[in-house]
Structure 1
Amino acid sequence: MVGNRRRLVVLLSLYIGTNWVGNGIISYYLTPVLRSIGVTSPGQIILLTAGLAIWNLVIAFGAAINVERFGRRPLFFISIIGMLISYRFVTGLLAGFSTTKKSGLSIAVIPFLFLYYGFYDIAWTPLPVSYTAEILPFNLRTKGLAIFVSVGTATNAFNQFMNPVALQAMGWKYIHLHPCVLSRLFVHSIEEVSVIFDKRNGHIEKLNDLAMHAVEIHGNREEMAFEPKENISHVEKV
């Protein structure tokens, strides 16, 4: 089924995006990155590391509880665009500092690192696993999540074994490669959920195993009503 192949592409894109958009370097090698811009004091490194962890927790939690308000696709698009812009600033400032050794450039890297992770946290921290489960039919969910975890393990292994070697050999130039992945994700975009995957010539195929989730709004209260239908003609905002 074409729809399932599209789901597979989105599934793979999600976990590749989770690990290969530059966060692997900043997460695992933040201390070497900070030292490369002249931040060598252990106390400053601890404060920045702890501050970034708290920042990630707050932003990711806030995004997770507001997913239904903003929608999955808008969060992904805003995240990718914001990460791409802020990461370009990071690489540009790192390149400038490596050439001129001006302290002002090194200091400017730090807020852009926080800004980059803020954009990462609004989508790539809370959404990939839940979004993967949402776009998969129930009978394929176990297999799909198994592929998701397997690809994630492989990409993490690459980060663990290849990043330190590449960083030592190329320095900031290796960091410059990751915006290419972000650009590809933006061009590819995040697809719609299950019923859009199965749309053919303006008609929606019959999905036997899907029950509609309709939201009935009464005043300020939303009540979820689950009503199975043979022919599905409505999709919730994603």
Structure 2
Amino acid sequence: MAQLDKKFFGKLKGSLGDIVFRSRNDKNYIAHKPVSYTPPDTPEFRERISKFRLAVKLASAIYSFESLKKLWKSVVPSGASPFSHLVKINYPFVLDNDLSNMIIMTPRSSFGVKLQSLTLNNDALDIELAPLTDLSNVNPDIEKKIQILVVVFLQQPLNSTLPDYDFLKVSSVKTSINLNDPITFNIPLLTADSEILVNYTNRKVIFTAITFDENEDEIQFSSTINYTVV
């Protein structure tokens, strides 16, 4: 693929004969049109395609949180796609129409939280975290509030006409940090979300916590918690 160093024609896109024009990261590229390709119709290939589609939808759910979008943009090298990076790092943990319990919402972090209890019903999501300690790596002199961002993965629809899986995206309100007591979050579900939730029997909750200073500026994101609702 050739790169046009000087951009005389604005953004180029499309093809002319056997030449293809593409624009990426504000640069124009010229390439030969690929020869025709017929994908193999094998179980292995279909499984790879299925896993990739799920990895993309998972990344879209995570990326829907503006805070997480900014976070990934800040850690991915310049010129690389943060969204593609998110797809890539989670692909090994995606199964055929299912997710393992190793999904990643945030980059590696020294800030961790411990889940004490989680209840998901058709009306609300309730999460209780263990009291934050020194091992949580929280500085109470700076970090004053905490919030959780949640992706709910739904699988096994009750009706065959429904998609094999779906995602819900919810977040809690910001809660004051108290190092002595458990931290509880009650997240009411919107009616539209509840109507989706009732149609699936398998439910997995994936979430991360964010701390804020007294001005409600973000300080740090926790490692990811994966939990299968039983």
Q: Same fold (TM over 0.5)?
A: no
More helix by percentage: 1
Q: TM-score, normalising length from structure 1?
A: 0.25
Select the structure that is richer in strand.
2
